[in-house]
Amino acid sequence: MDKYVIQAGTSTSKFLQFSPGDDEIHLQLEEHAELSAIALLNIAPGTQHRIRLHVEQMAGSRLNIVTFTLRGGDFLADVHIRLTGKGAEARIAGAVVADGEETVEKNILIEHVAEGCTSDMLYKQILTGKSRGLIEGKVLVQPGAQRTASLQTFGNLCISPEAHALSRPMLEIYADDVKCNHGATIGKLDETALFYMRQRGIPEVEARLLLQHAFVNDILQRVPAEELREKLSHFVEHRFRGELKACQGCSLCDK
């Protein structure tokens, strides 16, 4: 188990690249600390990875987590974020691309304990083959956590008829002065958009790749560093084209 403390008033950026195995991370953001963490999971089919992430945020702290699961094998993530200080803010987002018989499961709980806190949960999945993607997100607003603002948005594209997507946004609220919204969609590529792109001379294969990339673009836009965002966009494109190999302990920065 790894424990990290982001000191009060500091701003930190991290890039994490996970390997097969188990990880447990405990993270504490002190008052007015800021952390932006970008994570990549790109492991070989047939391998497993489990991660448990526990976060506690003090007053005025800011958290931005963006994850890219491009090859997940068999992947399970359990995330629990507690907003225990007034005015804390948590933004957590992720893109999942799975094929074959991969299974990706994410269970996320954001717990509003203090008043005036904000949370934003955004996840997109693109599934082909016989892959399975499950995202279960819950926002819990405790008594006394007045003036809470929360948003959950889950989107899923099932490219093949045998792919299976399940999204469960949930709210549990014990305060009366809150603004909480949630929603989930499951569908396939927009055939109308595909038709118009083909009418303009774009080959069908390229049109499908462009639509898939556009679907996860709002996740990419949450990566604050332009150079890293461009590299991850390049990774995503190669994943859609079937050209991305599983990482072998390499660093994204060396690509």
Distance between alpha carbon 85 and the CA centroid of its chain, in Å? 24
Residue 30 is which amino acid? E
pLDDT at 122 over 60: yes
Q: Single out the residue of 2, 91, 102 nearest to residue 42, CA to CA.
A: 102
Tell me the domain boundaries of the chain: 2-189
- pLDDT number for residue 216: 94
Structure tokens at 84: 């225990």
The 10s digit of each residue's pLDDT in 24-46 is 999 999 999 999 999 999 887 78
Q: What percent of the chain has pLDDT over 70?
A: 95
Alpha helices of the chain — where are they, by DSSP H? Answer: 191-199, 204-215, 217-220, 226-240
Q: In whole angstroms, what is the distance from residue 40 CA to residue 42 CA? A: 6
The 10s digit of each residue's pLDDT in 69-120 is 998 778 999 999 999 999 999 999 999 999 989 999 999 999 999 999 999 9
Structure tokens at 105: 């499961």
- Contact yes or no for 209/202 (Cβ under 8 A): no
